[in-house]
Amino acid sequence: MTNKGKSDSTPVDVNDQTGALDRIKTGAFERNLALTKMGAGAGANIAKHAFRNLFRSGESKDQANREFYKRQADQLVDELGKLKGSVMKAGQMLSLYGQYFLPEEAVEALSSLQDNTPAVSWSFVEPQLLEILGAKAVGKLDIARKPIAAASLGQAHLATVVETGEQVVVKIQYPGVANAIGSDIRTLARLVSATRLAPKALDLTDVFNELRDMLERECDYDLERQFTEAFHERLASDSRFIVPKVYPEFSGARVLTTRYEPGLSVSSPQVQALSQERRNRIAKAFVDLFVTEFFDWNMVQTDPHFGNYRVRIDESGENDQIVVLDFGATRYFEKSFVDSYAKIVRGSLDADRDEIVEGVLDIGLMERSTPDSVLRGFGELTELIVEPFRKPFDPRVPERLYTPGGAYCFGPTDLPARVGQKAALKMMSVHFKIPPQEIIFLHRRIVGVLVTLRTLRAELRLHELLKPYLYA
């Protein structure tokens, strides 16, 4: 959920509450009851499916299994979407881990749990606001009753600071969400087991523990305020970026108020209509920001949702800017992890399999007992992933993906498909482990950057960008 600009959407009545939910289920009993009912239904579906499979064989059974997984996953997603709160957010996060152990149908369904959800009525969130800020502080704001964005953990309302006239966004966490995290994670774990979406013998305890830890961080608005202020300070002198100012007087553990910074989605017609040169500059800024976050700051905003990166078009055409929003998913990375990851990238660019293996072992993707053939096979995958960062006209890159000047063309690239095909072959080894959360969330941001570059149809030469960090 973000401080989203509305300049690329239809104006709305900010006080119209038509269609808003009266409340969300946050009590452990009522949430568990809803999910327990679903678990019972899932169990009945499993029994029927298993019985019918006794009379199927071959291709017919495979197709039936795929349809069964899709029904189970769709049912799970439908119930999570109704409940909102931490259990819905956990479902979103589970899709990131799930690519390593869930059926494709389940990953696709869980990935559909987006943060664009029905709003909750003002009467439900106002008590939270008053409890955290107090009536005196709230009285200094003229707050629109209808939110400009609603998500799984809370919603954002446009407001005006009465004394100064400044427009701000007040992000309010749903009451009871933070207290429900432990119960929600336990219930989700039982549901994944009940729906048989994960292999029965696979111990997912660590995965769900990590989901709980991450949710607790995202519900800590004091921590998010600190990250927002850190990014604001670090990017203040870079005219390519805008990070909203924080208003501490109107912020607390469950409320965060920042300056309203409007902008456009990278997929909007206005941004898509910009010249190739301007789109390239915006795209280059996206890459610069990520590389700086990871290698220089060791502090990365890991949620690549389009709503978190808006574009503000400069009418003169000189300085289009990126508005960077929502720092709840920001993570610190240990310097040792960054250095080890750099080994993998450097080894992949230089075709140095020994260095790739060293980096893979350092960060815990595989173990020293892993057969050499598996380790080196994984190197083939990483060498493909770094394709856009190779030197111009590298023979390992399809010639059609270079401009005459040697820039990599992100618009027509089929790299994600090629990576997926190779990953399916290399990562299905019994020696491959579910990656640590650092890898999963770092790769979420990397994928987000690449999707943004493809959406902008960017043409970039990126090899020089990494050299200072890899070969210093």
Rounded Cα–Cα distance for residues 17 and 147 (Å): 9
User: What rounded mean pLDDT belongs to the chain?
Assistant: 82
Q: Is residue 353 part of a domain?
A: yes
Where does residue 138 rank: exposed (0-12), middle (13-18), buried (19+ CB within 10 A)? Answer: middle
Q: Is the pLDDT assigned to residue 9 strictly greater than 50?
A: no
Residue of 186, 3, 154 lying closest to 84 (CA atoms): 154
Judge if 68 and 199 occupy the same domain: yes
Residue 58: predicted pLDDT: 56
Could you say which of 216, 243, 268 is where a domain stops?
216
Q: Per the domain annotation, does 251 fall within a domain?
A: no
Last-in-domain residue among 165, 196, 216: 216
Question: Is 63 a member of any domain?
Answer: yes
Residue 419 in this model has a pLDDT that exceeds 60: yes
* Over residues 179-201, mean pLDDT: 79
CA–CA distance from 169 to each of 123, 396, 408 (Å)? 18, 48, 38
Number of domains in the chain: 2
- The answer to whether residue 264 is domain-embedded is no
Query: Tell me: the pLDDT tens digits for 331-345?
Result: 999 999 999 999 999
Q: How does residue 267 score in pLDDT terms, banded at 50, 70 and 90?
A: very high
Give the whole-number percent of the chain exceeding pLDDT 90: 46
Query: Residue 23 — pLDDT band, cuts 50, 70, 90?
Result: low
Residue 367 lies in a domain: yes
For residue 88, the enclosing domain spans 28-114+179-216
What is the rounded average pLDDT of the residues 248-260? 97
What is the distance between the alpha carbons of residues 45 and 257, in angstroms, rounded to a whole number? 46
Tens of pLDDT along 343-358? 999 999 999 999 999 9
Mean pLDDT of 166-194: 87
Has residue 119 been placed in a domain? Answer: no
Give a yes or no: residue 13 inside a domain: no
User: What pLDDT, in 10s, does the model give residues 84-129?
Assistant: 677 777 777 787 777 667 777 777 777 777 655 678 899 999 999 9
Q: Is residue 71 part of a domain?
A: yes
Residue given tokens 């207290």 in the structure block: 179
- DSSP track, 21-76: BS----SHHHHHHHHHHHHHHHHHHHHHHHHHHTT--HHHHHHHHHHHHHHHHHHH
Instruction: Give the model's confidence band at 285: pLDDT under 50 very low, under 70 low, under 90 confident, else very high.
Output: very high
The predicted model gives 154-177 an average pLDDT of: 95
Q: Are residues 53 and 194 in the same domain?
A: yes
Region 174-186 average pLDDT: 87
Say yes or no to pLDDT of 402 above 80.
Answer: yes
Residue 7 has pLDDT above 50, yes or no: no
